[in-house]
Structure 1
């Protein structure tokens, strides 16, 4: 269950970063509220996962899921440019996340 919570925490990290983009510097109420709600949910799920999973590994996975997810959304939804080198680096993050999961004892 902790792993599921960690994944959900990472997904909510993606949500809050996208909502923050739409908040236009917290000048729009709806996206600003969505940002803080998604942050709270992300931190809550991360906190639950940390009850049983190691801190360093959990934090690295949480940040990695968020970073990869936001990069993918930026490329697909916001039509931001992405170079081959950036794609390779994102793939390395995914490999690192998978490696941390595979090498964990939990």
Structure 2
């Protein structure tokens, strides 16, 4: 019952993103210059591969610079601050105040 309700809510949110988010378009990644599909589900100015690399850079920086741990902890240390992705969004985040 709970799983079914979760799926209903997730589907409604996904459909809302598709309906009200940016229109699908072919874009060129700002970092690697490869083509990718931007849409309401992936509304970013960089491709998924570059986003993954940026996240790994963020993890490494957080773990080594902020926490002062060695790079050995990068792959499995669980506590990392959230990454600010607003600079990569096609449209600015709505004000949630």
Give TM-score scaled by structure 2 length. Answer: 0.30
Instruction: Name the one with the larger helix percent.
Output: 1
Instruction: Name the one with the larger strand percent.
Output: 2
Compare relative contact order (CA 8 Å, sep 6+) and give the higher one, 1 or 2.
Answer: 1
**Higher radius of gyration, 1 or 2:** 2
Give TM-score scaled by structure 1 length. Answer: 0.28
